[in-house]
Amino acid sequence: MSEQQPADHNNQHDHAHLDRGITRGFIIAIGLTAITLVAEIIGGFWTNSLALLSDAAHVFMDLFALVLSLAVIHLAKFPASDTRTYGWHRAEIFASLINGTTLLLIGVGILSEAWGRLIHPEAVKSKEMFIIATIGLIMNLIAASLLHGHSHDDLNVRSAFLHVLGDAIASVGVIIGGVIMLYTEWFVLDALISMVIVLIIGWGAIRILREAGHILLEGVPKHINVNELVDKMRSIAGVNNIHHLHVWSICSHITALSAHIDVKPDYRLRQSEIIGTLEEMLDHDYHITHTTLQGECSSCITGPVIQQLKHRPRRSSSSNNHDHHSH
């Protein structure tokens, strides 16, 4: 037991250091994004550029996403309690859901304004628009680089990173548009760029909503093939079969699994050892850190691998009325 403590201490230290790194990255990204937002709102009205105001709308959602994501990182540190046995980890998915929904709504607003500008193009101060969009791009790229390292295995950070990256791409579009309009005065391009920005916003939002929805519906995590996982579990010495298997995500970086393990009769006395081996394999091969494994009772041996959940039978209103009258 004493040998395990230094490793646990090191893991805690690594997690604390990682959390500090993510938090610092978010705080700097929030500051940079706020500066970009103010510059693009003022610049958008000054230059009469819908593309710049569309980008500002996207930046506002970035800021919202970043603040929400940072709040979620701190919420996840709240301990589990007798009313929330999983703690606040699901808040991460809730934040991603809000981010995705608000992005879609803002996209619809920009699209309707862009349609009006397509029909009735308005003059734009192209040179000023180009300068402001360039400042925005630099800020976005710095913010994106701060979040990129943590975006691979955390849906919350990835949703924030996608916001910032999408905005950087949008800024490039605004810059190109500014240069073309400066030399051609083809102002309808301003509305066209806005529509492209909406497509970028919409694509990112739908991806985030799909991933968050999959987790909220207790879907099997993308990196896990259930059939392969069951075969590996069955290959452990002493395991006869696996039943009543459930695999789900608590949040984007915590995977949970529960199952009934049918232990071979000759191995019944070594049941706890077999379950320990299974837990080690699940952690090492699939990063499943939250497992609930139950030694199989004889009545379950013929059960299916995937158990269909059923609602508790409800008593009909007529039987309830009958009971009431009988009393």
Record the pTM.
Answer: 0.71
What's the rounded Cα separation, in Å, for the pair 154 and 18?
A: 12
- Chain Cα centroid distance, residue 66: 13
Max CA pair span of the chain: 89
Q: Which pLDDT tens digit goes with each residue over 280-311? A: 999 999 999 899 999 875 545 566 778 777 77
Task: Mark whether 256 and 135 lie in a shared domain.
Answer: no
Q: Which H helix or E strand runs over 257?
A: strand 254-263
- Residue 26 pLDDT more than 90? no
* 3 domain residue, yes or no: no
Calculated CA dihedral for residues 281, 285, 288, 289, nearest 10 degrees:
60
Task: Mark whether 178 and 243 lie in a shared domain.
Answer: no
Last residue of a domain, one of 194, 216, 238: 216
The domain in which residue 109 lies consists of 11-216
Q: Which pLDDT tens digit goes with each residue over 46-66? A: 998 888 888 887 788 788 878
Total tally of structural domains belonging to the chain: 2
Last residue of a domain, one of 216, 235, 264: 216
Torsion sign over Cα 262, 268, 269, 273? negative
Q: What percent of the chain has pLDDT over 70?
A: 85
**DSSP of 262-322:** EE-GGGGGGHHHHHHHHHHHHHHHH-EEEEEEEEPPGGGTT--SSPPP-PPPPPPHHHHHH
Per-residue pLDDT, 229: 96
Please state the rounded mean pLDDT for residues 253-271: 90
What's the rounded Cα separation, in Å, for the pair 150 and 27?
A: 14
Q: What percent of the chain has pLDDT over 90?
A: 27
Rg (CA), the chain: 27
Please state the rounded mean pLDDT for residues 262-274: 90
Task: Mark whether 212 and 225 lie in a shared domain.
Answer: no
Reading the block at residue 226, the tokens are 């259930």
Per-residue pLDDT, 4: 42
Are residues 309 and 275 in contact, defined by beta-carbon separation less than 8 angstroms?
no
Task: Mark whether 191 and 282 lie in a shared domain.
Answer: no
Task: Mark whether 209 and 225 lie in a shared domain.
Answer: no
Per-residue pLDDT, 113: 83
Closest CA to 147 of 26, 19, 20: 26
CB atoms within 10 A of CB 35: 14
* 154 domain residue, yes or no: yes
Per-residue buried b or exposed e for 63-74, using 16+ beta carbons within 10 Å of the residue's own CB: bbbbbbbbebbe
Please state the rounded mean pLDDT for residues 9-19: 50
Q: What is the CATH number for 134?
A: 1.20.1510.10
The lowest-confidence range among 103-107, 159-163, 202-206, 210-214 is 159-163
The lowest-confidence range among 62-66, 125-129, 176-180 is 62-66
